[in-house]
Amino acid sequence: MKDFNINMTEGALFPKIVKFTVPVVLAGVLQLLYNASDMIIVGKFAEPGSLGAVGATSALINLIINVFIGLSVGGCVVAARYYGQGDSEGVGRTSNTAFLVSLISGVILAAVGFFLARPLLSLMGTPDDVIDRSVLYMKIYFIGIPGSMVYNFGSAIMRGCGDTRRPLIYLAASGLVNVGLNLVLVIFFDLGVAGVAIATIVSQALSAVMVLIHLIRTDTSCKISKKTLKISKKELIMILKIGLPSGIQGSVFSISNVLIQSSVNSFGSMVMDGNTAAGNVEGFIYTAMNSVAQAAMSFVSQNYGAAKFDRIRKTVIQCSALAAGVGATLGTLAVIFSEPILSLYINAEVPDPVVLSTGQLRLSIIAATYLICGIMDTLSCSVRGIGHSTVSMIVALIGACAFRVFWIFTFFATDRSLYTLYLSYPISWVLTSMAHLVCFILFFRHEKKKTEQYGKALEQNVKG
């Protein structure tokens, strides 16, 4: 079996960062293309308001699942650390533990999302003309969430060991199925948002099956089997220690996004459509930048395990510059070509001016400044990579989430405009990036000093 794993502790750094990042970017872009096909098909071929109905669920879905997605980040960091140390047994225990956690969390999430869909969407102020479709989409989506959890945890373990190409292959195959089913179920069977949701859960199940088959058949250290399939207490604690703060951070971020979505909902379904379309476009930029941040986390984790701090420092510098460059390039293109791109999502030969202007306004503020978010995520992931996930969470919660909530109840309450609402994003990114930079520098120096002192003490003991 061809070895797709990358050893991040040796050799030229930047080429390996690119080699790691490109498949992650492609996987993320493919996922977003498939999601965009959902949006485009439902926006053009389903009844008016269906695009907003699907978009209204996004922040709420993320709020519910992000804690468990964060645990997959913990699995990635722990696996990468063991891999950097050359501890194949540790990687194996992490892989088996993460798989069982993914199954358990998937079942829990399926029940929570299915039964709480309507009351939670009502709390968000989802308009009466779209709430029934939003509830239907969300219930079907959560029926298939166990498959999504298995894929996310499995691919995270593989990324921790440096394998980013197989998850890309699996996602490409399942995504093609998703697009095909969208066309059939929405256009030919006229199932609307239900058809989009069914296509999504079928494709998620397929990707989960492919990841599981690989983890069972592989001869690498991330193999799972009946004999080794159990939750290791040590690895579970490590995963929770790193992943739980990351998950809480993601969920609290989603709380602020839920509040923002609720504020957007107050402007009506046409504004919701424009906001959803622009948010989907921004997802491509964010995914590309976040892929660089994921590379930073894996590279920092492996080199932390190998006690190579000079490579950690170079990783953070190079990844921050790369993320900023990607964000600046893609954000500028999104603003310049906003009208033709947004028109793809709108069900009309002549786009509704409210939908179009809303999307363009959002892109001009958020997409244009997205490079700051890329730097913020890279620094945050780097702090997690050296084992300080809780601090990263606290910084993000204060600098971004709490600030956005404060902004909504003060500045936005005073000036209830979309411009004021969207402005909360770039300002929060600047504040959080600066705080994460300070934290990384402090923790980097602390961990390096601690490792050097340990090495000296060990050398003295050997001599003694």
Q: What is the pLDDT of residues 76-97, one digit of tens each?
A: 888 888 888 888 888 889 999 9
**Measured between alpha carbons, how far is 131 from 338 in angstroms, rounded to an integer?**
28
The lowest-confidence range among 54-63, 110-119, 405-414, 419-428 is 54-63
The predicted pLDDT at position 223 comes to 86
Digit-coded pLDDT (tens) for 147-164: 989 998 888 888 888 888
The predicted pLDDT at position 1 comes to 40
**Measured between alpha carbons, how far is 326 from 321 in angstroms, rounded to an integer?**
9
- Cβ neighbours of residue 109 under 8 Å, at least 6 residues apart? 64, 65, 68, 142, 145, 146, 149
Tokens of residue 446, six digits:
């602390």
The predicted pLDDT at position 463 comes to 52
Tokens of residue 241, six digits:
């220690």
Neighbours of 462 (CB within 10 A): 7
Digit-coded pLDDT (tens) for 165-177: 888 888 888 888 9
Which range has highest mean pLDDT (207-211, 294-298, 458-462)?
207-211
Tell me if the pTM is above 0.85. Answer: no
Computed over every residue of the chain, the mean pLDDT equals: 84
Taking alpha carbons only, the member of 348, 255, 301 closest to residue 74 is: 301
SS3 268: coil
